[in-house]
Structure 1
Amino acid sequence: MDRTNRTERYEVVVCGGGLAGFCAAVAAARQGARTCLVQDRPVFGGNSSSEVRVTPHGAAAFHAYAKETGIISELMIEERAANHETIFENGWTNSVWDMTMYDLAMRTPNLTFHLNTSILDVRMNGTRRIGSVVCLVANAEVELELFAEVFVDCTGDGIVADRAGCEWRMGSEAREEFDEPHAPAQASGDVMGSSIHFKTKDTGAPAPFVAPDWAAKLDDPDFFYKQGRNPNDVRGGYWWIEIGVPWHTINGNEDIRHELTKYALGVWDWIKNKDPNTMELAKNHALDWIGQVPGKRESRRIMGQYLMTEHDPLNKTVFEDEIAYGGWFLDLHTPGGLLAPTSEPASAEGYVETTSYMVKSYCGPYGIPLRSTISKDVDNLMMAGRNISVTHAALGTVRVMGTTAIVGQAVGTSAAIALRRGIPIADVPSRAIREVKQTLLRDGCFLPNSANEDEADLARGALVTASSQEACTGSGVQIGDTAERKLFPEDEHLRQRKGQWLAIAEEATLNRVSVCLSNLSDIAQTVEAVILPMQHIWDYRTELGEPPLATTVLTIAPGAHQWIDWDVGLNRETGLKPTSYVRLDLLANPHVAWHLGEIVVPGHACAYEMGEGKMRRDWNGPTRSFRVDPPQRSFGPEQVLSGVTRPHRYTNLWRSDSGEKLPQWLELSWSDRQEIGHVELTFPGHLLWEYRGYAPFYRDPQCPKDYRIEAWTEDSWVQVLAVAGNYHRHRRHRLEKSVLTEKLRVVIEATNGDPSAAIYEVRCYRPSK
């Protein structure tokens, strides 16, 4: 039987079904474009899938409240609510994640997909336009030719762009080309390597392992403990099982896979049978799974309208065409991986977070421009994923999957808008960027330099009131000497400067701040304290170029858990700005501990100084102990109209009084009657930590569980919609019947555990035509 040939026509064809391609295809389809997604594997997710099992990382690994939202957030929230599996660094992913993505693809109108389908060739329509891509469906002897108006290359290796004749780069740029701090002195073709992971299972009884003869023979402890390859988790994982150079990361992929398999087995043999630090821990663990699809970090980078260099993330360049953001550090792995003298630099340093390397590598959150996703050589080609237009050094931060996912959503959205408006994709950054940004924000995404300006959003013209609002008094201290928590944890010692953000209310009055400290010595100690005005929650500067709002020296007598008061006497006249952040910093004194708070106060993050006048997010505690007088009314109902759906320049959150029982309500009122057909809500949750910070079957306690929407009609409140069992943060409701009303209420009857009702944003729209 001869090969079957089929032809299909779409408006958008997305090639590659990793997180970037998946989000691009779903976004384009949701925006009304007839879309086809082509994936060469049997499952979606690329490196995050159950075939490769790389944990999706992003900005939240280094910045509080920086979790990526939009389509990727929908997926992660759904997977965590459904999955029994605990997340650890790598190797954990099971098919629940695959099916979460498959289910969303199946439920998305306008979206067709082809799995197990590889791109064979590109057929051009002229010199600057792709007419179609030719694909082969594995095991089916079917050749597909897919025609479209816009193509999106999310293949990682840039297969479509390469076949279309686009310029691309591969390897490291020389230092002299862009003067990038991380660039080598000489250009080279060296790229970061690929990894495979393995997973083990605790069998409850001794489980012997005998490595095959062809496995790598690893007998030198220095290979692991002095070269940045710490086998610290007998459950498996290990991103550092990485090999690239001397093999070509594209053409030598099968050789790389085989070498990685040899080394993965050799690493487990070391952990299981040779390493005195792990042998006993691994005694009952058996090898349960080993990957056979290398997780690739780098290959071709397609040249676009703009080439991002590492100066952009380091300097937080503000782009007019900003459509996504990143926040992972400049994470450039050593070419060769296991074959190199040392592993990735930060790992080789033992992840000491205050080294000069980490200081120069820490960046973000920073914006990513649309122009870096638009091919400069082909008029109907866009890119998303690790193959976008960036230098090798910039790729170190842009390449992580949380970042590529939101870039993908922006690309799919942009492609659909270009088609709808009948303009070339090359012109979207200059002619349609406002619509792209506003669409992304409405669809649940976040942009550091944009806010809701949607003229169609009726809520923006409303007066907002609420049944109650929380006043921030601070956070007490969890005291206890348990197996989980020492009396004076190491992360509480003031070995370096530490800071706590405080949200200042509209009244702009701060009479007193207090902190809970312990003096670990036998004599009185002093600590310098300073209060600085902050631009936003990710303002990590210690030197602002202007005087601080207040300074003092605190004296702490010997003893534990003392509340130390500071009468700061700040107000508008002394420079305190309403609805803004300040940061309370305590300077270093290793004899003193500043204790973590017993609760997480929303929007109140903490950090420590890593060096060279730069702070970084404090991983172990999002809120340190503090008290403020007077209590700051920083969670008012008006915050739902700030246009921003997370803490940034302020809390941007309405939160009801935790001392009052649910239900609690938020009300919008207008001077004139409005016809409302759609209500869109953004709730708190899944923002503070990165993916692996959330437990199996997790439903964020802050997220409203049961709520209803009521409209004021004929002198009474009438329910127009009710929701039970919610755990998603972004909900879009089309009312069964539009309502004419002057007042609308969102009544939150129950949360998933938090005592307060809370909302980031409410939007209202007229009925769809």
Structure 2
Amino acid sequence: MKITQETYDVVVCGGGLAGFCAAVSSARQGATTCLIQDRPVFGGNSSSEVRVTPHGAAAFHAYARETGILSELLIEERAANHEEIWENGWTNSVWDMTMYDLAMKTPNLKFHVNTAVQSVNMTDERQIASVVCYVANAETKLTIHGKTFIDCTGDGTVAHLAGCEWRMGSEGRDEFQEFHAPEAASKDTMGNSIHFKARDMGRPVPFTAPDWAVKHEDPSYFYDQGRLPKEMKGGYWWIEIGVPWNTIYEAEDIRHELTRHTLGIWDWIKNKDPKTKEKAANYALDWIGQVPGKRESRRIMGQYLMTEHDPAERTVFHDEIAFGGWFLDLHTPGGLLAAHSEPASAEGYTQSSEYAIKSYCGPYGIPLRIMISKDVDNLMMAGRNVSVTHAALGTVRVMGTTALMGQAAGLSAALAIRKGISIQEVPDTSITEVQQALLRDGCFLPNYKNEDPYDLARKASVSASSQALLYGAGPESKGFHEGLTVWRDQNHRIPHDRLLQRRGQWIAVGTDHIDTLSFCVSNNSGHVQQLKVALARVDHIWDYRVNTGTLLNEQTLEIPEGERIWVEWAVNATGLQPGSYVRLDLLGNPDLEWHRAGCIVPGHMSANEIGLNRMRRYDNGITMSFKVSPAQPCFGPENVLSGVTRPHQFTNLWRSEPNEPLGAYLELIWQETQSIRHVELTFPGHLIREYHAYSPFYRDPQCAKDYTIETYVQGQWKTVVQVAGNYQRHRKHELPESAAADRLRVTIQSTNGDPSAAIYEIRCYS
């Protein structure tokens, strides 16, 4: 056997999305970094071996898609991939190679695939010295030394071998009074899943299940227990088994049982189910996974234990380093062997039950302390093995969220090494530096914004060639959303927009008053209808309180009979705060239909009431029809210095006038000459919906395609950066040499389809 040793600053164990983002982030911060992955490809559950597509906050909240390294990867994959994304089973090797390419291109990063951690060497009981690994098919024993170790193995293998305290199973309700906790503590966990893919062959094809496959005969097992066999091509997350097997030690038993069940389920769909036999006639099995995707095992105890109260109540942490927004999604232990697969699916994904209302959460902040081991001084965790209760794991475990945690862990580890401090000290001594570095790297934090003292743009004034005004949008309005659809496996498009309950439309405020608001409704009841309307202040676009405590006006209007009638409300709202949002609410009247706009107005979402003084996103992130007078100047150039790179408390976006030709520009002006070497830009796009909503070869129409950066030097403009064919939202440019300038201009010659040039943020550094 070959025996080798290597030494790095940061050692990341586990190459799923959390580990991959941790390693890239650490290396980009200048730390020598090693990434150890026990599979031949990166991505963990998202890889082509397992094929679970990354989920996150945008599944439930408009403009809540994760950014940073994950966003960079997903944008690149969609731009390059010929194949659509379906729920599960449809990930191909384009995704694997997108990740591999980034790993290859990242300075300071070395990786070992097909390499498993087998043991841990300790300097003392609180310090890891090295991990001992075995390289499969190479007969190589590899000892890797490091200053800081990040356990992204999912199972918490490194932490377990290092002697850390961990939990597995569910806390009882009496321990933390969590609504989602069972009455009594249990060792039960959520299960593992394998997925399948079926292909339409264009003609009938037979299928015969092997004798050892599970036999299904009872339709209620599927239709009454939350296991709906929807589209024939696959994507069934509920093919899941855990209890009575241990998800770590008996993973191979689970894999075998899942294979038996998958073949039996396909046999039911193809040959027995009267609802699907004809639909599935032309489909053939194309792929069945043999690497189970795991949801839950060990959770390593950190400096802080996050409970479900934190995401439910949006706890604000001083050490916030990421955010989440998936619902409190706790699958039934046993999966296919239990009475139903998961409570929300068993309810038919209703939005108004007590369980559904109390499961809807976020976007919420995540603290760094859940990723720092309380027992080992140089150990961090990222992924589903972080310091949370079983109930809280239901929301933080999804890959979009774990990728953000990974990026924060890698950055924090590198920063601690650079400063010569222990990672244990970072939450109290260096958290502002971590947060500002994450924001600079394209991440979003719900409760923190750009306050980087080194950002020269913050000292500048800003102007633009033009700016768009907000007039509203109607059913006939046209948008530029080609290639942007909905994730079809969740919240199917509502077939009508009847006012079955209160619905609200967020409207950005750019002046101190609004005179009139109008909305487009249909009344086909045969007589005049009464409709109560209200206008209220809201804190931000995810302020889902029905009663925000700041009602501006309310009135009952008469709605005449007719189709697509524009109703004008003389709201006469004064004393408004420019740079904020108000919400127009139409209260429930099932005889009326409030029509959606034919386009999505940037930063303008809608929500509907679900009960318990709560609302949630309406449909998949759409704009309802409305008009506002006077038109609101809410897309001004000053928004690029707001410190926030997405709609939140305001639009935070500069948009040029869409009726003018492109070639629009944004200009920074300083009172004194600045030495500029780095310019960093954040463009719009890739935020409103989940990754699943984006088509093959997608390039977001809002994103700048061709642009230049110029500096004003000695009385004339000089082009210092010229870009063609861009589709990434976050771009960092190093100028060929430092420019001594008191003005800087970004000119967007073309976008990927939208008529407006647009920018969320511009930063400049010496």
Letter in 2 for 1:556: I
Q: Which residue in 1 is equivalent to 2:174?
A: 176
SS of residue matched to 2:572: strand
CA separation in 2, counterparts of 1:353 and 1:82? 36
CA separation in 1, counterparts of 2:141 and 2:563? 73
CA separation in 2, counterparts of 1:622 and 1:377? 47
Indicate conservation of the 8 Å contact 1:683/1:704, yes or no.
yes
Deviation at 1:520, TM superposition (A): 2.7
Q: Which residue in 2 is equivalent to 1:323?
A: 321
CA separation in 2, counterparts of 1:201 and 1:696? 18
Aligned 1:128-147 pairs, distance under 5 A: 128-147=126-145
Deviation at 1:547, TM superposition (A): 4.7
Q: Which residue in 1 is equivalent to 2:633?
A: 633
SS of residue matched to 1:649: coil
The answer to whether residue 543 in structure 2 is matched with residue 539 in structure 1 is yes
Indicate conservation of the 8 Å contact 1:463/1:670, yes or no.
yes
Indicate conservation of the 8 Å contact 2:621/2:688, yes or no.
no
Deviation at 1:711, TM superposition (A): 1.1
Indicate conservation of the 8 Å contact 2:8/2:32, yes or no.
yes
Aligned 1:404-553 pairs, distance under 5 A: 404-478=402-476, 490-505=495-510, 507-544=511-548, 546-553=549-556
Q: Which residue in 1 is equivalent to 2:385?
A: 387
Deviation at 1:356, TM superposition (A): 1.4
CA separation in 2, counterparts of 1:748 and 1:353? 42
Q: Which residue in 2 is equivalent to 1:598?
A: 598
SS of residue matched to 1:182: coil
CA separation in 2, counterparts of 1:641 and 1:406? 24
Q: Which residue in 1 is equivalent to 2:656?
A: 656
Letter in 1 for 2:505: Q
Q: Deviations over 1:251-297 (max 9, x none)?
A: 11000000000111111111111111111111111000000001000
In the alignment, which of 564, 574, 598 is matched to residue 561 of structure 1? 564
SS of residue matched to 1:255: helix
SS of residue matched to 1:270: helix
Q: Which residue in 2 is equivalent to 1:40?
A: 38
Indicate conservation of the 8 Å contact 1:149/1:380, yes or no.
yes
Letter in 1 for 2:500: R
Deviation at 1:398, TM superposition (A): 0.4
Q: Which residue in 2 is equivalent to 1:81?
A: 79
CA separation in 1, counterparts of 2:621 and 2:740? 47
Indicate conservation of the 8 Å contact 2:711/2:743, yes or no.
yes
Indicate conservation of the 8 Å contact 2:62/2:620, yes or no.
no
Indicate conservation of the 8 Å contact 1:491/1:620, yes or no.
no
Indicate conservation of the 8 Å contact 1:62/1:619, yes or no.
no
Deviation at 1:463, TM superposition (A): 0.6
Q: Which residue in 2 is equivalent to 1:68?
A: 66
CA separation in 2, counterparts of 1:106 and 1:301? 31
- Work out the percentage of aligned pairs sharing the same amino acid: 65
SS of residue matched to 1:568: coil
SS of residue matched to 1:43: coil
CA separation in 2, counterparts of 1:520 and 1:254? 60
Q: Deviations over 1:690-730 (max 9, x none)?
A: 11010110000000000000111222211111000000000
Letter in 2 for 1:497: R
SS of residue matched to 1:92: coil
Q: Which residue in 2 is equivalent to 1:670?
A: 670
CA separation in 2, counterparts of 1:598 and 1:440? 36
Q: Which residue in 2 is equivalent to 1:736?
A: 736
Q: Which residue in 1 is equivalent to 2:214?
A: 216
SS of residue matched to 1:549: strand
The number of residues matched between the two structures is: 754
Letter in 2 for 1:504: V
Indicate conservation of the 8 Å contact 2:596/2:625, yes or no.
yes
Q: Which residue in 2 is equivalent to 1:692?
A: 692
CA separation in 2, counterparts of 1:140 and 1:415? 30
Worse-superposed segment, 606-615 or 376-385: 606-615
* Structure 1 spans left out of the alignment, 5+ residues: none
TM-score, normalised via structure 1 length: 0.97
SS of residue matched to 1:350: coil
Deviation at 1:621, TM superposition (A): 4.6
Q: Deviations over 1:297-353 (max 9, x none)?
A: 000000000000000000100000000010000000000000001110000111111
Deviation at 1:554, TM superposition (A): 2.0
Q: Deviations over 1:650-691 (max 9, x none)?
A: 000000000111110000000111111000000001000011
The answer to whether residue 340 in structure 2 is matched with residue 335 in structure 1 is no
The answer to whether residue 194 in structure 2 is matched with residue 196 in structure 1 is yes
CA separation in 2, counterparts of 1:358 and 1:76? 29
Worse-superposed segment, 155-164 or 711-720: 711-720
Q: Moved runs in structure 1, 4+ residues, more than 3 A?
A: 488-491
Q: Deviations over 1:421-451 (max 9, x none)?
A: 0011000000110000000000000000111
Aligned 1:125-164 pairs, distance under 5 A: 125-164=123-162
Q: Which residue in 1 is equivalent to 2:371?
A: 373
Indicate conservation of the 8 Å contact 2:327/2:394, yes or no.
yes
CA separation in 2, counterparts of 1:88 and 1:618? 22
CA separation in 2, counterparts of 1:712 and 1:129? 53
SS of residue matched to 2:551: coil
TM-score, normalised via structure 2 length: 0.97
Indicate conservation of the 8 Å contact 2:62/2:621, yes or no.
no
SS of residue matched to 2:24: helix
CA separation in 1, counterparts of 2:285 and 2:20? 31
